[in-house]
Amino acid sequence: MSESVRKWMLWGNLITLIIAVAGLIYLSIITYTRIIGDYQIICLIVLILAGLNLIIMFSIRYHDRKWLIRISKNSVYLLPVVSIVFYFLFDLIDSSAIWIGIFVVCLIIILILLDLIYIFILREAGDIKGILVLLIFIVISIVMQRFDFSLSAIEDLFLPGFVVLTAAGMYMFGLRCLFMVEKNGYLKSVAFLACTLTAFGSFLFLLRTQGETIDILELVYIVPAFLLTMIVLLSLPISGYIHWSLLHKRILKKIVYTSVFFLLIFSFRYLYPDFFKQIVLKQEKEIPEFNLNDYKIPDKNGLEPD
C-alpha cells in the first residue's frame, strides 16, 4: 500500500474518531429518546472502529520495535492473571473504592489490545497457533456452558470474551493483510473481505448466544460469506495459487479455518435449529411455581386480625 493511501486512512480515521466523540458528547447532553439512544450506539460503534483502526495502523508502523514486541508478549501472560484475580475479588470491592474497579477494567482492556496486537500483527502472518487456541477455547466454553459446571464465569466471561477476542483479532489481521501483503492483490482483497465478514459473524454469534433475535443481520452475514466462499473456490485455481509463496498459502489457510468455523456454526443454525439451540443458547432452569396466593383472614366474632 502506497504511503499516500496510508496517510489518507490515518487522517480519515482520526477525523472520524473526533466526529464520533463530539457526537456522543452532544447526544448525551440533549433530551434522551429512543432515536437518540440508537444514534448513541451508532456513534459508539464508529468510535470503537476508528480507534481500533488507529491502533492497528500504529502497531503496523512500529511492528519491528523491540519494546512493542516485549510489552505485548508479556501481556499475554499477564492478562489471565489479572482477569481471574479481578473476577474473584469483584464482589469484595467497596462501593467507595469504585475507582479501583475502573482502573482494573481499563488495565484489562489495554492488556487485551496488547494481546491482540501480539497475536495478529506482530507474530508471523502465517502463524496459526493463536487463532486455533481461541477457536478451541470457544468450543470448550460452549461445551462447559451446555453441561453446566455451576461456574457463572463460563457464561459471564469465558465464551463472550473468547468470541470478542476472535472477532477483533480477525478484523485486525484483515487490515494487516491489506497493509502488509505485497505482490498479491488477490490474497489482499480476499483476506480483508473474509476477515471483516468473519469478525461480523463472530459478533453475531455472540449476540445469538445471549438470546438476541438477529435474523436479518444473520442473513446480512451468511449470504455474502457464502458467496465469497464460492467465488474463492471457483477463482482460486486460476489465481496462480500454485506459484504463491509459502507465507501467502499459510495466510490463506489461517483465514479459511476461521471463516469456515463460523460459517459452519451458522449453517447448523439453519439446518439443525433445535440442535443449535441446545448446544449454543443458555440453558435456563425453570423455577417451579407453587401457586401460593395471599388470602383474607375471615372476621370471626368481630375480632379483627392484628
Cα-based distances in Å from 152 to 53, 163, 164 = 33, 17, 18
More confident residue, 276 or 96: 276
Q: In sequence order, what are the beta bridge partners of 303?
A: 300
pLDDT tens, residue by residue, 241-291: 888 889 899 999 999 999 988 888 888 777 777 777 766 665 444 444 555
Least confident of 81-90, 146-155, 168-177, 237-246: 146-155
Are 196 and 158 part of one and the same domain? yes
Do 110 and 166 meet the contact criterion of CB atoms below 8 Å apart? no
Residue 6 burial by Cβ neighbours in a 10 Å radius (0-12, 13-18, 19+): middle
Are 133 and 146 part of one and the same domain? yes
Are 73 and 152 part of one and the same domain? no
Q: So what's the pLDDT on residue 287?
A: 45
Are 194 and 165 part of one and the same domain? yes
- Three-class secondary structure of residue 167 per DSSP: helix
Residue 19 burial by Cβ neighbours in a 10 Å radius (0-12, 13-18, 19+): middle
Do 177 and 192 meet the contact criterion of CB atoms below 8 Å apart? yes
Are 49 and 87 part of one and the same domain? no
Are 27 and 6 part of one and the same domain? yes
Are 146 and 116 part of one and the same domain? no
pLDDT confidence tier of residue 151, bands split at 50, 70 and 90: low
Number of domains comprising the chain: 3
Structural domain that includes position 276: 126-283
Are 118 and 130 part of one and the same domain? no
Are 131 and 246 part of one and the same domain? yes
Residue 32 burial by Cβ neighbours in a 10 Å radius (0-12, 13-18, 19+): exposed
Are 215 and 269 part of one and the same domain? yes
